Amino acid sequence: MDIPELKAFISIAECQSFSRAAERLFLSQPAISKRIASLERELNRPLFDRIGRRIYLTEAGQALLPQARHILQSVEDSRRSMANLSEQIEGQLTIGTSHHIGLHHLPPVLRSFNNLYPQVQLDIRFMDSEAACQAVSHGELELGIVTLPSQAMENLQMEILWPDPLSIMTSRDHPLGKEKKLGLKKLSEYPAILPAQGTFTRERIEAAFRPKGIELEVSLSTNYLETIKMLVSVGLGWSVLPTSMADKNIVRHEIKELKLTRTLGLVKHKARTLSNAALALQKILKDCDCSETTATI
């Protein structure tokens, strides 16, 4: 087995598509198919079942996947360890973050990093925090800058960067917009616009409401905070947004019995050797005060 074959196999397993995996690896579809065919001949086992337009891992493929990830991670760790011996900060650094963190938290960090280490080629992948955590766990990313999960995740080490308090928000024209002392019962009478099910932020919100015995009626959901803010601003519902997103078009409501917050931070693999570039970015993140900007799911 060679490294390009294993990379092709992992990409297809994750994308569940030969064509999407080929795009991810900047290969043609015949080239990636050739790599899989070579790997299957070497192992004398089919790795994928092709049923209609869907791709499924065979039993052999399922057994190989964690081993292939481990092999690639060991190879990358070895390369980083050798590169780190030179103490040079250069090469490629692959990180994952959400769009909102990338737009509103990272600009001063990336500006400083680029000024200090222009030899580093940054590969920034924008995705949901949940997907970024999984990608770090699988060894696809060196670092994730994300909304931290409320529970520990296997293989991941988490470091807090910025606290991010949340608030109930409505438009000024919403029926709740003129409420001086908004209570939970009144709030529950109107539909909410919330982050999608399964996101770390949605989990934090539900965990805060659950002990109060409040059933939320959710009319719309999306993973993008800017979209939620827009929908709230035109009066389509109330939401829970980072306090820092409040502006003249939004009313922020205080509910004494409800404390909402989340935490933004850094995730890395517990067993992974970080490159000099990743260590340098980690230091800048810890030193940079970006807490005045808005956060993300």
How many angstroms separate the most distant Cα atoms in the chain? Answer: 71
Best CA proximity match to 167, nearest among 187, 190, 145 = 187
pLDDT at 37 exceeding the cut of 90: yes
What phi, psi does 246 have (nearest 5°)?
-65, 140
Question: With pLDDT > 90 as the criterion, what percentage of the chain qualifies?
Answer: 47
Q: Which of 88-92, 248-252, 289-293 has the highest mean pLDDT?
A: 248-252
H or E stretch including 240? strand 239-242
Predicted TM-score (pTM) above 0.95: no
Residues 135-148, mean pLDDT to the nearest whole number: 91
Residues 49-76, mean pLDDT to the nearest whole number: 87
Residues 99-111, mean pLDDT to the nearest whole number: 87
- Residue 86 pLDDT class (50, 70, 90 cuts): low
Q: Compute CA distances 272 → 77, 81, 96, 138, 199, whole Å.
A: 7, 10, 16, 11, 25
Q: Which two tokens stand for residue 14?
A: 């994750």
pLDDT at 101 exceeding the cut of 90: no
Distance in angstroms (rounded) separating the CA atoms of residues 272 and 251: 45
Question: What is the 3 state secondary structure string of 18-51?
Answer: HHHHHHHCCCCHHHHHHHHHHHHHHHCCCCEEEE
- Residue 293 pLDDT class (50, 70, 90 cuts): very low
The per-residue pLDDT for range 221-233, each reduced to its tens digit, is 988 899 999 999 9
DSSP per-residue codes, 156-221: EEEEEEEEEEEEEEEETTSTTTT-SS--HHHHTTS-EEEPPTTSHHHHHHHHHHGGGTPPP-EEEE
Best CA proximity match to 22, nearest among 35, 34, 10, 8 = 8
Domains detected in the chain = 3-81 (1.10.10.10), 89-162+263-287 (3.40.190.10), 164-262 (3.40.190.290)
Q: By three-state DSSP, how is residue 60 classified?
A: helix
The per-residue pLDDT for range 263-288, each reduced to its tens digit, is 999 999 988 888 889 999 999 998 87
Instruction: Give the pLDDT confidence score for residue 146 in this predicted structure.
Output: 95
Q: Are 118 and 213 in contact (CB under 8 A)?
A: no
- Residue 290 pLDDT class (50, 70, 90 cuts): low
Distance in angstroms (rounded) separating the CA atoms of residues 258 and 255: 5
- Residue 292 pLDDT class (50, 70, 90 cuts): very low
Instruction: Give the pLDDT confidence score for residue 83 in this predicted structure.
Output: 66
Instruction: Give the pLDDT confidence score for residue 133 in this predicted structure.
Output: 93
Best CA proximity match to 90, nearest among 116, 115, 121, 120 = 120
Residues 162-190, mean pLDDT to the nearest whole number: 89
Residues 257-264, mean pLDDT to the nearest whole number: 88
